[in-house]
């Protein structure tokens, strides 16, 4: 769509905005009637480790939300010469899970505990047994139960428990609701009813009986909504928060707030059975839409849902590209020491392409990219670790391939459970996120790691912000009775350019050798974390 036509639909209020809180960046996108990205706004932020807890302050949330929208508004003004004033729809999404408990006056009772924390092991184990359902450490219910086990006094004062997306949505609309995909990171979901599993809700209430809390679980949880359901409108206070200049008009309808897993599914058209996607950025996770329930409870695999409520098996790993980025930064410093100021994008592309020339099994090199514990491998804490055999050929190609493989290794361990023990069928996996910005490299190595074809579309770099914008744009179609699956396939992805890479036999064999080496070195990672984090 040319800029003149875009200027017209922006002025006519036909634009849709999606905002997503990522781990290191808040991103906003504006899409038009063609559902393509017309402008982008960003705000960089970073979590903090405070008193042993990974957190973001609510001040950071408010400031980041506002600055991100202002960045988008500025981008629209500079490119199209018009001011954002009215919108057709909006949506917000964020990193899933975590713990945001509020009292009756919406005062936060304890610092936000993010998905990155692995401090709820006792509660997760207890709840998994109680529910006969895998409850991961990062889920909201695990954080709540751990707070109870810890005897934390704030628990009795909770009147609302939500996620980061749910809180941001409340700021804009005043509505205490949550999309079913994000709600699936709080408590088990009944996909038939598209709501929290009532039998397990009652089981948890019975578990708490006699503890003296003035609430039951449903009293404090948000209302669950499927994709396309009305979720409130932008209030005057919400409009003022986003745009203090007063240009943005209130009344914009918002879609249900979603988690990054759900927006990743929307952004890759992986919401139908036998499809899936891999989101690879600061964290990495794979989602597979199931034809039938899993045969057993696996603590390495989460059960969540699509934005419309279909059951999904999720393998989630806390860390993906953080250590890889740190090594690239080191190499950039080295280059600058010789007077070479190489653009970041150029450096990443060269290093990623070099990785493909390395040995398929990385020839005696091993690495762990852990910045925290990883439930898939049963580690409660983590530190980045690189090791090699003394006789290993230490080439740049082998080193870079090792770092990329390390970013995929823990995911591969979890995926083996689905495709092996559970025999889950995969027609296609879609890749999105920063790992896939360099063409083909991340795709090729991921295909080898999960032993399945990997498709990347031209929208892969836009990620979840585009995904939540699509879910907002879906509102009228849902009202007209069209399913999310059909709308995405027909309206958005019908002629979307894409590239598919099938796994190479030599790459798969090499990755298997690398993975066995890393598994054998796992005790060293555990001991290194104990030693380094204790001093």
Task: Report how far residue 420's alpha carbon sits from residue 415's, in angstroms, rounded to the nearest whole number.
Answer: 8
Which segments of the chain belong to CATH 3.30.420.40? 3-258, 269-320+414-501
CA quadruple 229, 234, 237, 242: dihedral, nearest 10: 110
Q: How far lies 530's CA from each of 83, 116, 257, 383, 479, in Å?
A: 54, 18, 38, 9, 54
pLDDT value of residue 264 = 85
pLDDT band with cut points at 50, 70 and 90 for residue 463: confident
pLDDT value of residue 459 = 61
Q: Is the pLDDT of residue 100 over 80?
A: yes
Q: Is the pLDDT of residue 184 over 50?
A: yes
- What CATH architecture does domain 3-258 belong to? 2-Layer Sandwich (3.30)
In terms of DSSP H, where are the helices of 309-440?
322-337, 344-355, 396-416
CB distance 238 to 482 below 8 Å: no
Task: Report how far residue 360's alpha carbon sits from residue 119's, in angstroms, rounded to the nearest whole number.
Answer: 36
CB distance 402 to 367 below 8 Å: yes
Supply φ then ψ for residue 300, to 5 degrees. -85, -10
Mean pLDDT, to the nearest integer, of 472-482? 96
pLDDT value of residue 1 = 53
Query: Any residues with CB less than 8 A from the CB of 195 and at least 6 apart, and which?
Result: 180, 189, 224
CB distance 173 to 89 below 8 Å: no
- What CATH architecture does domain 269-320+414-501 belong to? 2-Layer Sandwich (3.30)
- Average confidence score pLDDT of the chain: 94
518-523 long-range contacts, Cβ below 8 Å, gap at least 24? 518/366, 518/367, 518/368, 518/406, 518/409, 519/413, 521/366, 521/368, 521/385, 521/387, 522/368, 522/377, 522/379
pLDDT value of residue 460 = 45
Mean pLDDT, to the nearest integer, of 52-62? 96
- What would the two tokens of residue 514 be? 């690398």
State which H helix or E strand residue 501 sits in: strand 498-501
Q: Per residue in 320-345, pLDDT tens? A: 999 999 999 999 999 999 999 999 99
Question: With a threshold of 0.85, does the pTM exceed it?
Answer: no
Q: Per residue in 119-159, pLDDT tens? A: 999 999 999 999 999 999 999 999 999 999 999 999 999 99
Among 40-44, 490-494, 503-507, the least confident range: 490-494
Q: At what angle do helices 121-131 and 140-149 cross, to 10 degrees?
A: 110
Q: How far lies 188's CA from each of 31, 262, 279, in Å?
A: 33, 15, 22
Mean pLDDT, to the nearest integer, of 388-415? 97
Q: Per residue in 344-377, pLDDT tens? A: 999 999 999 999 999 999 999 999 999 999 989 9
pLDDT band with cut points at 50, 70 and 90 for residue 87: very high
């Amino acid at each position: 769509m040319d800029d003149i036509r875009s200027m017209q639909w922006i002025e006519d209020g036909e634009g849709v905005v999606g905002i997503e809180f990522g781990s290191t960046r808040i991103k906003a996108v504006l899409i038009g009637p063609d559902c393509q990205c017309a402008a982008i706004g960003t705000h960089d932020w970073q979590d903090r480790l405070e008193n042993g807890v990974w957190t973001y302050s609510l001040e950071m949330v408010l400031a980041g939300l506002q600055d991100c929208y202002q960045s988008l508004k500025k981008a629209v003004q500079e490119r199209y010469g018009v001011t954002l004033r009215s919108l057709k729809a909006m949506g917000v999404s964020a990193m899933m899970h975590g713990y945001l408990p509020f009292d009756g006056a919406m005062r936060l009772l304890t610092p936000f505990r993010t998905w990155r924390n692995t401090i709820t092991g006792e509660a997760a184990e207890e709840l998994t047994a109680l529910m006969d359902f895998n409850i991961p450490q990062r889920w909201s219910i695990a954080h709540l139960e751990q707070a109870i086990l810890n005897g934390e006094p704030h628990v009795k004062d909770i009147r609302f428990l939500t996620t980061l997306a749910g809180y941001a949505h409340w700021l804009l609309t005043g509505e205490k609701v949550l999309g079913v995909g994000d709600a699936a990171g709080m408590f088990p979901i009944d996909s038939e009813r598209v709501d929290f599993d009532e039998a397990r809700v009652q089981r948890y209430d019975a578990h708490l009986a006699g503890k003296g809390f003035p609430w039951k679980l449903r009293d404090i949880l948000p209302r669950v909504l499927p994709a396309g359901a009305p979720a409130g409108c932008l209030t005057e206070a919400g409009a003022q928060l986003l745009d203090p200049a007063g240009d943005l008009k209130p009344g914009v309808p918002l879609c249900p707030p979603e988690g990054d897993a759900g927006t990743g599914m929307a952004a890759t058209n992986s919401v139908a059975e036998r499809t899936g996607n891999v989101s690879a950025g600061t964290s990495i996770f794979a989602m597979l839409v199931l034809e039938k329930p899993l045969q057993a409870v696996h603590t390495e695999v989460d059960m969540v849902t699509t934005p419309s409520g279909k059951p999904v098996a999720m393998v989630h790993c806390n860390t993906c590209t953080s250590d890889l980025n740190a090594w690239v930064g080191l190499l950039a410093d080295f280059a600058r020491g010789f007077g070479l100021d190489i653009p970041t994008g150029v450096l990443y592309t060269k290093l990623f392409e070099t990785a493909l020339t390395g040995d398929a099994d990385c020839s005696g090199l091993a690495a762990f990219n852990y910045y925290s514990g990883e439930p898939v491998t049963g580690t409660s804490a983590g530190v980045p670790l690189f090791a090699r055999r003394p006789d290993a050929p230490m080439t740049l190609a082998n080193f870079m391939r090792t770092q990329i493989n390390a970013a995929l290794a823990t995911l591969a361990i979890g995926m083996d459970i689905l495709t092996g023990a559970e025999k889950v069928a995969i027609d296609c996996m879609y890749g999105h996120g920063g790992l896939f910005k360099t063409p083909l490299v991340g795709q090729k190595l991921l295909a080898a790691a999960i032993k399945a074809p990997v498709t990347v579309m031209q929208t892969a770099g836009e990620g979840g912000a585009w995904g939540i914008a699509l879910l907002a744009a879906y509102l009228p179609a849902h009202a007209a009775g069209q399913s999310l699956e059909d709308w995405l396939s027909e309206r958005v992805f019908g002629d979307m350019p894409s590239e598919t890479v099938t796994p190479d036999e030599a790459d798969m064999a090499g990755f298997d050798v690398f993975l066995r080496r890393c598994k054998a070195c796992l005790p060293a990672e555990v001991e290194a974390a104990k030693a380094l984090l204790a001093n």
